[in-house]
A = this chain, B = another copy of it.
Amino acid sequence: MKNTFGTNVSVTVFGESHGAAVGAVLDGMAPGIEIDNEYIKHQLKLRAPVGGISTSRCEDDDFEILSGVFDGKTTGTPICIVIKNQDIKSKDYSDIRSIARPGHADYTANVKYHGFQDYRGGGHFSGRITAALVAAGAIAATALKNKGIYIGTHIKRLGDIEDIGFDDYRNDIDMLNEKQFSVINDKIANIMKERIKSVARSGDSIGGILETAIIGVPAGVGEPFFDTVEGALSHALFAIPAIKGVWFGNAYDMSASLGSEYNDEFYIDEEGHISTKTNNNGGINGGITNGMPIIFSCAVKPTPSIYKKQNTVNFENAKETELTIQGRHDPAVIHRARVVVDSVAAIVMCDMLLGRFGTDYLR
């Protein structure tokens, strides 16, 4: 089940960066969900590189749906989405095939796959695989929107530059989902972009923190002891290359605080619903949703591909060597990763909701 995730709704990914294609099979989605090709394209475009702050490899990301859709709607059977690779310059990699790029999976893949891995462009470890997740996630997100569930992510921090927080979730999410560079405050967005460009000029890369909100999920979803909302989301999120940390609510800033500060007191809101005044627990108590926005953050490490000279080893002859990476790379991936986070979160929430309420829930 290595490349398959989920129980009632599952996704299987395949593909290599410089192979024929990347793709995903989304299984278990309810039948009757309208496929909005424009929305899928929109989401793929949010993942696409942007001038100046991303790689110059430019893929059209034309997707093809091979199955599971009929008359423009999901049938309930597996949906296979394929995105062909086009703009491939594989020769960039052939001369460094046994040089371990620091921070990359070259060495670990070599140990695991005994030299048979497709080393070009990171192969199956490339961020390119996530294009397939975005296409699959777009279908999941459409289904969720039909039930009033919305997901959005902003760059909470890039280097030491911090965005403002969510204010009006519903509007902020809509606004973010239209932005190619998802920062709530536009001035801060510009400062972040300048920082990325400056880092790029120095041949370096930069990381940061994404914060995601999921609103509209009813209380009572989650399957502890092990299949908590936190556990399911984090399991899937850590599959996204570059994500090295996941926390919920204010766990990052407040785990070392006092209980009297951390506890979210309950109250009855104007509409008579049970709510909490604060949301330090990120909408989850005991692994189960409490009806508040589900809030989580992902630490996105700086892209490991940098143009500076680095010390490393050749793992075929086990000798030390120097490496200066060529090719086209992103000085930051955080602005591209956010739609992948949204997509993965959408798939996981569909899984949990269908497990809880049955396969017809999202129709």
- A82 close to B82 (CB less than 8 A): yes
Q: Please choose the segment from A48-56, A144-152, A167-175, A239-247 that sits at the chain B interface, where 4 or more of its residues have CB less than 8 A away.
A: A239-247
Taking CB as reference atom, which chain B residue is nearest A310? B265
Which of chain A's residues 256-276 have a Cβ closer than 8 Å to chain B?
A: 256-268, 272, 274, 276
- A5 close to B226 (CB less than 8 A): yes
Given that A103-B281, A255-B207 are contacting pairs, would A70 and B14 also be in contact in the complex, using a CB cutoff of 8 Å? no
Which of chain A's residues 339-363 have a Cβ closer than 8 Å to chain B?
A: 355-361, 363
Taking CB as reference atom, which chain B residue is nearest A304? B263
Chain B contacts of A304 at CB under 8 A?
259, 262-263
Chain B contacts of A96 at CB under 8 A?
none
Bound: A238/B248 CA distance, A: 10
- B259 close to A204 (CB less than 8 A): yes
Stoichiometry (number of copies): 4
A29: shortest Cβ distance to chain B, in Å?
A: 11
Residue A37 interfacial (CB < 8 Å): no
Bound: A104/B281 CA distance, A: 10
Chain B contacts of A182 at CB under 8 A?
none
Q: Determine which residue in A226, A246, A319 has the highest number of CB atoms from chain B within 10 A of its CB, and name it.
A: A226
A21: shortest Cβ distance to chain B, in Å?
A: 4
Q: Determine which residue in A103, A228, A256 has the highest number of CB atoms from chain B within 10 A of its CB, and name it.
A: A256
Bound: A20/B75 CA distance, A: 14
- B118 close to A75 (CB less than 8 A): yes
Chain B contacts of A75 at CB under 8 A?
16, 113, 116-118, 123-124
Other-chain residue from B117, B158, B290 in contact with A76 (beta carbon distance below 8 A): B117
- A287 close to B246 (CB less than 8 A): no
- B31 close to A2 (CB less than 8 A): no
Map CB proximity to B onto A2-45 as digits: 1 under 8 Å, 0 otherwise: 11111110101111100111110101100110000000000000
- A77 close to B255 (CB less than 8 A): no
- A70 close to B21 (CB less than 8 A): no
Other-chain residue from B5, B235, B247 in contact with A299 (beta carbon distance below 8 A): B247
Which 8 pairs across A and B sit closest by C-beta, in order of nearness?
Answer: A105-B286, A245-B247, A205-B259, A111-B220, A358-B358, A244-B251, A255-B299, A31-B116
